[in-house]
Amino acid sequence: MAASMKIRARIVDGSAHVAVLIMHPMETGQRKDPATGQAYPAHFIHSVTATINDRQVVSAQWGPAISKNPLLAFRVRGAKAGDRLVVAWEDNKGEKDRAEATIA
């Protein structure tokens, strides 16, 4: 899955402010196709992790209640400009992606 994430990370007042937009359908499995009446298969992210310089700073377990194209935002104390941020996710179909950014 190419370019499924957009990351913005910058230092504000001594902590890193991070925003990650993840492009994903986040289908619950409960919505039905109006033409056939069949439910669309569930397709949602179930785990997200974020590391700064190989130190885990976020670990989240998600489910089908998260909206399409979710925005994950968090702050991290102790990060510095130039640190390497890596965000990774995996969904219930086994698809995975990861993206890297440098904190500005």
From CA 51, how far away is CA 100, in angstroms rounded?
10
Burial class (CB in 10 A: 0-12, 13-18, 19+), 79: buried
Nearest to 16 by CA among 58, 78, 99, 98: 78
CATH superfamily of 5-102: Immunoglobulins (2.60.40.10)
pLDDT for position 3:
78
- Look up the pTM and report it: 0.93
pLDDT score at 2: 57
Within 8 A by CB and 6+ apart from 20, the residues are 5, 6, 7, 8, 50, 71, 72, 73, 87, 99
pLDDT tens sequence across 21-75: 999 999 999 999 999 999 999 999 999 999 999 999 999 999 999 999 999 999 9
Q: What are the sequence ranges of the domains in the chain?
A: 5-102
Per residue in 68-102, pLDDT tens? 999 999 999 999 999 999 999 999 999 999 999 99
